[in-house]
A and B are shown apart, each in its own frame.
Chain A
Amino acid sequence: MSAQDMSAQDTRRQGIHAAGGLAPRPGAASRWRVIATQALNEVGMALRNGEQLLLTLVIPVVVLIGMTHLPNDVVGHSPVIDAAAPGVIALAIISTAFTGQAISTGFERRYGVLRLLGSTPLGRSGLLVAKTFGVLLIEAVQIALLSVVALVLGWQSAGSWLAALVVVVFGTAAFSSLGLLLAGTLRAEGTLAVANGVYLLLLALGGVVVPASRLPGFLAPVVSLLPSSALGDGLRDVLLHGQGLPLHSLAILTAWTLLAGALTARTFRWS
Chain B
Amino acid sequence: MTPSQTSTAAVTVDDVVVDYGTQRAIDHLSFSVRAGAVTALLGPNGAGKTTMIEICEGYRRPDSGAVRVWDLNPVADAKALRPRVGVMLQDGGIYSSARALPMLRHLARFYAHPLPVDELAERLGLTSVRATYRRMSGGEKQRLALACAVIGRPDLVFLDEPSAGMDPQTRLAAWDLIEQLRVDGVTVVLTTHLMDEAERLADHVVIMDHGRVVASGTVFELTEGHEVVTFRADPGLDLLPLIVMLPELARAIETTPGQYRIEGGPEADVIGAVGRWCSEHGVLPLNLDNGRRSLEDVFLDLTGRDLRT
Contacts and interface: CB of A to CB of B under 8 A. Distances in A.
A129 interface: no
Q: Name B's interface SS.
A: loop
Contacts of B97: 45, 48-49
B116 A26 contact: no
Interface in B81-106: 82-85, 87, 89, 91-97, 106
B112 A23 contact: no
Interface centre among A19, A29, A33 (most CB of B within 10 A): A29
Interface residues of A, number: 39
Contacts of B155: 24, 26
A113 interface: yes
B130 interface: no
Given A28-B111, A33-B109, A115-B59, A120 B82 contact: yes
Contact of B95 (A22, A45, A118): A45
A29 B106 CA distance: 12
A121 B153 CA distance: 12
A29 B112 contact: yes
Interface centre among A15, A107, A119 (most CB of B within 10 A): A119
Contacts of B181: 22
B152 interface: yes
A22 B186 contact: yes
25 contacts: A16-B120, A19-B184, A21-B180, A22-B180, A23-B184, A26-B111, A26-B152, A26-B154, A27-B83, A28-B83, A28-B110, A28-B112, A29-B110, A29-B112, A37-B106, A45-B95, A111-B94, A111-B95, A112-B91, A112-B93, A119-B57, A119-B59, A120-B107, A121-B152, A123-B79
Given A22-B181, A29-B109, 4 more contacts: A17-B123, A25-B113, A107-B96, A119-B82
Interface of A: 1, 6, 15-17, 19-29, 33-34, 37, 41, 45, 48-49, 107-108, 111-113, 115-123, 270-271
Interface of B: 57-59, 78-79, 82-85, 87, 89, 91-97, 106-107, 109-113, 115-116, 119-120, 123, 125, 148, 150, 152-155, 173, 176-177, 180-181, 183-186
